[in-house]
Amino acid sequence: MHDQPDQLEPESLLREVSDLEGRIGELRQAAGVPEPDLRATLDAALVELELALTVLRTMGGEQSGESGGSAAAENERRVLRTVFQDAPVPLFLLDRTTNVRRVNRQAAELLGTSSGYVSGKQFTAFCDMATRAAVRSQLAAAIRTGRRRRVGVRFLGRDHPIDAVLTFARVWIRGEPDPMIVVAAGPTTTRADDGAGGAPASKGQAAGTGRARPADGGPNDDEAVATIVHRMDVLATASELLLDEPVFNETVAVRRCARLLAAELADWAFIDLTAPAGGNPSAAAQGGATRAGAAPALRRQVVMGPEDERSVEAARMLEEVDPAEDTLPHNVFVTRQSALRPHVENLDVLGMCPDGLPVCGKIGVTSVLSVPIEDGDRAIGTITLAASGEYGPFDLMDLGVVQRLGRYLALVIRAARLYRRRAEVADTLQAGLLPKSLPAIPGVSVAARYLTSTHGAEVGGDFYDVFRTENGWGLVLGDVCGKGEDAAAVTATARHCVRLASRWKARPADVLGIVNEALLDEDRFVTAVMASLTLETERIIVSLGTAGHPPAIIVRADGVIRSASRGGVPLGLFEDFEAGLDTIDLSVGDTLILHSDGVLEACDMTRQEFGQERLLEALAGHAGKPPEEMLAGVERALLDYCDSDLRDDVSMLALRVEPPTLD
């Protein structure tokens, strides 16, 4: 080794200026990271000023050097290697670009890894985010000026952060075109925990659930077992959280998963997904059309991080930043290959923030892993975890846990999307079985309510209709046994048959008889109640026909409530059909109520049914209100009683005789 003059050639000058610009940018970023080391950053900024002055003084100079035989150079390298490896302190040999060329045994042990893993990586990748920029500046100063530099640093050790004082010394090695730097790590201490020494507790460890890391030195058997048990607990907890839903919900599952990971395995959790098959038109419009043959676009779904005010604001901003094509999450999604970056060298590996800062620099992360969310057939997204290195970088065990969790989440999302598609089909089908609007009947106000079951995603069997008859108007409300497409077909048959038959038959008994005959070949039966209305001045004559259905209810203008006659057998069971019949006169202010058995059979937590008496009480409490408000009152009472957990569809139809108008 020998000293080298400090003059610069023109090419070297341009390189120095370019490097200086990059380091100044990093110093600006370092001042903005969470918990910045402002003193170290200020010292580094002063060093950069000195360096700039030195560069200006040496402009136009000639670089001189010595040359020697190849044998002499090799001997010098051999001596250097021997001294380097046997030195009693941790040593790193860096090239001019601050890549690690070689480390001795003590340096590898300090970081808790192997010499081969450290070699070839950026030296600053092993430093925490708050000190990286300062370290870069001091390294540049040592390379340029040849003066020794000292700087404090926090290494990202395997198990916990390690505070150290570094000394940088420039050396020229015969045969190397550029100077190199020897870094010596002075007396080191592990970060104190409440003054007691040792490593801080891992995330969640105080509650017995965090990432188990050894206090110092290598992991012992108990700590290794604790680490494995904790990860098993995380997977078990994830299974409970993802499956603890009576109906799969994609949004709930994604947020629960991210919250668990951010609490137990990382500082930050990102989950990105593609749109469901068939696509979300709004998502496509926002993100632009996907190129033909290209992978579907990833959309950021949720970002979970620390709960301090700054982090919450950053998470809100990052939720609006979709993964770009050159980011780690996107590459993992396209290749379906998990990726582990224990020590982040490239700060834009997670992309850039809207303000131009790299995401890793913005949130101060130094270790990243990303896994695909795939259901066995295709990838539908990614899970990405990021950590500050406070409790050690991610390892293969962390990667394995998140990979398994990614498969769990994929299955839940696939089930949720399948359920949602079936629910959309059911809603569309159901809408076709009910009238889009109720017709206006002279002297009468009509209202209807329909509530779908909260269990399952199949089309229900309830139907209602209001239509013209041979001599006036008709109302019908029915319930087909069962659910699904087959039940929907029977529902459509029953509803339209009632309408058609009412065109030439006036009596409900005759109409229901025709419907019964039409349904005999079906494998499902139908219960129904039909009302035929004959309109007269200030009153309506109602002829009722019942086929195994709950009877109609009459709410008189004075608040008196009574039920019509029961009777009849369900439609579609027997050729010898006979309906239950009743005739009722409705005066001004009287209301006729038809309803399905879903109202009566709704249950509370103790499995007690809502029943006829509670229905009558709810109607009595709203007797003086318009039909729409009467049915709304029954709906509220019903949902409160069963805690919105409807086991069957609910349909209600109300007709009120209104006072005559002057028109």
SS (H, E, C) 491-555: HHHHHHHHHHHCCCCCCHHHHHHHHHHHHCCCCCCEEEEEEEEEEECCEEEEEEEEECCCCCEEE
Which H/E stretch holds residue 12? Answer: helix 10-32
Residues 379 and 498 in one domain: no
Higher pLDDT, 532 or 130: 532
Q: Is the pLDDT of residue 1 over 50?
A: no
In three-state secondary structure terms, 206 is helix
Looking at residue 244, which CATH number applies to its domain? 3.30.450.40
Contact assessment for residue 358 and residue 348, using Cβ atoms and an 8 Å cutoff: yes
Q: Quick one: DSSP state of residue 8?
A: -
Identify whether residues 568 and 541 lie together within a single domain: yes
Q: What average pLDDT does the structure give for the chain?
A: 79
Q: What confidence tens digit (pLDDT) does each residue in 642-658 have?
A: 888 888 888 999 999 99
Q: Is 402 contained in some domain?
A: yes
Mean of pLDDT values over 91-110: 88
The answer as to whether 1 is a domain residue is no
For residues 454-493, b (16+ Cβ closer than 10 Å) or e, as one string?
eebbbbbbbbbbbbebeebbbbbbbbbeebbebbbbbbeb
Q: Which residues contact 536 (CB under 8 A, 6 or more apart)?
A: none
**Element (H or E) spanning 256, and its range?**
helix 250-264
Containing domain of residue 224, as a range? 205-423
* SS3 call for 223: helix
Read off the CATH number of the domain in which 461 is found. Answer: 3.60.40.10
pTM: 0.52
The number of folded domains in the chain is: 3
pLDDT in tens, 159-196: 788 888 888 888 877 667 888 888 888 765 544 443 33
pLDDT above 80 (res 245): no
| Residue at a domain's end among 132, 158, 190 | 190
pLDDT band at 510 (very low <50, low <70, confident <90, very high): very high
What size, in residues, is the chain?
Answer: 663
467 with 559, same domain: the answer is yes
Residue of 625 and 537 predicted with greater confidence: 625
Share of the chain above pLDDT 70, in %: 72
Specify if 378 maps to a domain. yes
| Shared domain check, 417 and 289 | yes
Q: Are residues 419 and 446 in the same domain?
A: no
Q: Which residue has the tokens 């951010």?
A: 262
Domain end residue (candidates: 190, 222, 252): 190
Q: Is residue 663 part of a domain?
A: no
Q: Are residues 212 and 338 in the same domain?
A: yes
